[in-house]
C-alpha cells in the first residue's frame, strides 16, 4: 500500500509544473485542464497542502470576467498538442482572461465539491477554511455563469455545446449527433496519436466534427446565446449537471460554515431544487433504468447508457426507487463477474469498445464519483467493489489514463491504455487509500 502511494506521489510530483499547475500526462496533455485540476488537488492534499492550494488557485485565476472557467489553460507553448490556442482563439470573447490563453469551452464544474473535500482531508482546519473563504466566490460566480447563460429553457439544467465540455470526449453518446452534421475535412496534424496508439483514440473524422463546432463558436465570438442558437451540438449531460448539483450542495454547506452570505445561499438553494426536479423529470428514463443525455438541438433523449448515467447518485438527486433502478441497471449491464466496474459505456451494446477512450474503458475519476454516490445511498458493498476494482486496475497495470473492463483481456498483456503516469489516476488512488 505505501509503495503504491509513493509511486502515485512520484507521478504527481513529475507532472507538477513551475507555473503552479499540474499536467494530466506528459506529451499527450501538456497544459492545465479544468476537471483534472480539481481531482489532482485531492491527491496533493494528502501530503502537500500547499501544492493542493496552488493547483486550485491557478485554475481559478484563469476565470473570465463573466465567471466562465475554461477547459484548458495554455500556460506554456507546446507543439505536442493539437488544437492549441491559435485554433481556439478564445480571446474573441470580450470578457476572456487577459492573463492566460485558454480554450473557449468549459468542463464539468467539480471545484465546489473539491473545496469541500479539501476541508475534510485537512480535518476542518482554520487555515483551509481561510483558503476556502478566499476562493469560494469564484466558484460561486462560475455556477452563476452556468445558470444565467446556459440554462436554455430556464429549467435548472445547463447545456454543453461541445463533446469536450462533457469530459467524455468520444463517447458513443455523440454518434447520432455527428450524423446530423457534415463538417468539412480539416487539414491538420494530429498530435495525440503520436503519443498514444490510434486504436485507443478518436478517429480523424470525429476530430473534424470537434473542430467544426469550435469554428461555429468562433464565428459568434463565443457568445453563449448565439452558440445556443447555432451550435449543431447542444446537450443536457447527466454527468455535467450532477457535478453542478453536487458542487452547489458543497457551496451551500461551505458558505454556512463561513457565516453570512445569505443571498448566495438562497440563490444556490433555489437553483438546486429546480435542477434536481428537472434532472429527474427530463433525464431519468424509467424503462432503461438510467439517466440519459438529452439532445436539445434535436429534442430527444439519447437512448444509450454510460457511466455518466449513474453519476446522479453522487449528486443526491434520485429518490430511493430511482436509486434502486440505477443500481439494478449497473449490476445487470456493467457488473458481470468477468468485468471490472465501471465501464464508461454499456458493455452489452454494440457500440461498446473496451479500448477506445470513452467508448468502454474504466476511468478512475468516474469510479471515484460512483463510489461516493453508492455510499451516499447505502450501497456499501457495491461501492466497495467499485473502489477495489479501481485499486486492482491501477496496481496491476500502472497509473494509466483508462483501463480495460474485461477481467480476462484477450487483446493485450496490459489493460492500461491512453496516457501513462496520468495525474488523476494517481491523485484519486491516494484519496481512495487514505
Q: How far is the CB of 9 from ligand DGY (least distance, A)?
A: 24
Q: How far is the CB of 14 from ligand DGY (least distance, A)?
A: 20
Chain residue whose CB lies nearest ligand DGY: 164
Q: Residue 167 corresponds to which cell in the numbers above?
A: 469530459
Residue closer to ligand DGY, measured from CB, 34 or 271: 34
Task: Report the alpha-carbon distance of residue 210 to residue 371 in Å, rounded.
Answer: 31
Q: Residue 56 corresponds to which cell in the numbers above?
A: 486550485
Binding residues for ligand DGY, total number by CB under 6 A: 4
Hey, how many other C-beta atoms are within 10 angstroms of the C-beta on 331? 14
CA 423 to chain centre: 14
Task: Report the alpha-carbon distance of residue 154 to residue 146 in Å, rounded.
Answer: 11
Q: What are phi and psi of 160, to 5 degrees?
A: -115, 145
Q: How far is the CB of 210 from ligand DGY (least distance, A)?
A: 8
164 binding ligand DGY? (CB under 6 A):
yes
Asked about 401 being catalytic, the answer comes back as yes
Task: Report the alpha-carbon distance of residue 116 to residue 124 in Å, rounded.
Answer: 9
| Backbone CA torsion sign across 413, 416, 418, 420 | negative
Alpha helices, DSSP H only, in 259-363? 262-278, 312-315, 320-329
Q: How far is the CB of 288 from ligand DGY (least distance, A)?
A: 27
Residue closer to ligand DGY, measured from CB, 69 or 268: 69
Q: Residue 168 corresponds to which cell in the numbers above?
A: 467524455
The answer to whether the bond into 342 is cis (omega within 30° of 0) is yes
208 binding ligand DGY? (CB under 6 A):
no
Alpha helices, DSSP H only, in 33-95? 34-45, 49-61, 85-88
- What Å distances lie between residue 382 and 9, 363, 370, CA to CA? 28, 17, 10
Q: Which of 36, 116, 346, 401 is catalytic?
A: 401
Residue closer to ligand DGY, measured from CB, 227 or 290: 227
Q: How far is the CB of 284 from ligand DGY (least distance, A)?
A: 28
Residue closer to ligand DGY, measured from CB, 192 or 295: 192
Residue closer to ligand DGY, measured from CB, 47 or 81: 81
Contact mark string toward ligand DGY, 68..87, x via CB under 6 A: ---x----------------
Restricting to residues 313-352, which ones interact with ligand DGY according to CB under 6 A? none
Q: Give Cβ neighbours of residue 63 (< 8 Å, ≥ 6 apart).
A: 69, 97, 138, 141, 142
Q: How far is the CB of 192 from ligand DGY (least distance, A)?
A: 6
Q: How far is the CB of 100 from ligand DGY (least distance, A)?
A: 16
Does residue 382 contact residue 374 with C-beta atoms inside 8 Å?
Answer: yes
Q: Which of 169, 176, 206, 324 is catalytic?
A: 169
169 binding ligand DGY? (CB under 6 A):
yes
CA 283 to chain centre: 18
Q: Give Cβ neighbours of residue 366 (< 8 Å, ≥ 6 apart).
A: 307, 308, 311, 342, 344
Interface with ligand DGY by CB under 6 A: which residues?
A: 71, 164, 169, 192
Q: Which residues are part of the catalytic machinery?
A: 169, 401
Amino acid at each position: 500500500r505505501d509503495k503504491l502511494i509513493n509511486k502515485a506521489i512520484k507521478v504527481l510530483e513529475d507532472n507538477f509544473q513551475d507555473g503552479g499547475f499540474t499536467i494530466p500526462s506528459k506529451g499527450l496533455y501538456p497544459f492545465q485542464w479544468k476537471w483534472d485540476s480539481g481531482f489532482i488537488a485531492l491527491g496533493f492534499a494528502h501530503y502537500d497542502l500547499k501544492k493542493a492550494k496552488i493547483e486550485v488557485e491557478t485554475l481559478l485565476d484563469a476565470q473570465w470576467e463573466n465567471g466562465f472557467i475554461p477547459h484548458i489553460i495554455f500556460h506554456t507553448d507546446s507543439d505536442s498538442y493539437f488544437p492549441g490556442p491559435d485554433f481556439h482563439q478564445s480571446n474573441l470573447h470580450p470578457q476572456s482572461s487577459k492573463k492566460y490563453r485558454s480554450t473557449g469551452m468549459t468542463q464539468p464544474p467539480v471545484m465546489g465539491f473539491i473545496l469541500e473535500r479539501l476541508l475534510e482531508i485537512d480535518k476542518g482546519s482554520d487555515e483551509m477554511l481561510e483558503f476556502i473563504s478566499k476562493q469560494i466566490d469564484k466558484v460561486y460566480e462560475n455556477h452563476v455563469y452556468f445558470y444565467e447563460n446556459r440554462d436554455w429553457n430556464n429549467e435548472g439544467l445547463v447545456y454543453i455545446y461541445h463533446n469536450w465540455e462533457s469530459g467524455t470526449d468520444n463517447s458513443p453518446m455523440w454518434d447520432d449527433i455527428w450524423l446530423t452534421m457534415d463538417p468539412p475535412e480539416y487539414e491538420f496534424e494530429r498530435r495525440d496519436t503520436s503519443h498514444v496508439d490510434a486504436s485507443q483514440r478518436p478517429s480523424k473524422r470525429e476530430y473534424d466534427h470537434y473542430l467544426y463546432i469550435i469554428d461555429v463558436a468562433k464565428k459568434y465570438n463565443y457568445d453563449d446565446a448565439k452558440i445556443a442558437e447555432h451550435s449543431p451540438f447542444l446537450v443536457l449531460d447527466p454527468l455535467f449537471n450532477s457535478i453542478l448539483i453536487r458542487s452547489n450542495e458543497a457551496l451551500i454547506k461551505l458558505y454556512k460554515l463561513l457565516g453570512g452570505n445569505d443571498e448566495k445561499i438562497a440563490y444556490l438553494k433555489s437553483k438546486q431544487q429546480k435542477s434536481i426536479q428537472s434532472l429527474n423529470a427530463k433525464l431519468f428514463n424509467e424503462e432503461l433504468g438510467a439517466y440519459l443525455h438529452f439532445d436539445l438541438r434535436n429534442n430527444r433523449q439519447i437512448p444509450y447508457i454510460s457511466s455518466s448515467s449513474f453519476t446522479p447518485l453522487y449528486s443526491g438527486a434520485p429518490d430511493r426507487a430511482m436509486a434502486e433502478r440505477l443500481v439494478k441497471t449497473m449490476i445487470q449491464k456493467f457488473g458481470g463477474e468477468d468485468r471490472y466496474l465501471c465501464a464508461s459505456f454499456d458493455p452489452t451494446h454494440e457500440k461498446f469498445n473496451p479500448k477506445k477512450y470513452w467508448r468502454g474503458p474504466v476511468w478512475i475519476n468516474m469510479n471515484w464519483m460512483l463510489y461516493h454516490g453508492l455510499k451516499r445511498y447505502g450501497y456499501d458493498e457495491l461501492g466497495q467493489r467499485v473502489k477495489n476494482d479501481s485499486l486492482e486496475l491501477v496496481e496491476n497495470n500502472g497509473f494509466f489514463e483508462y483501463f480495460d473492463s474485461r477481467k480476462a483481456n484477450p487483446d493485450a498483456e496490459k489493460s492500461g491504455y491512453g496516457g501513462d503516469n496520468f495525474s488523476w489516476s494517481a491523485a484519486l488512488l491516494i484519496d481512495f487509500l487514505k
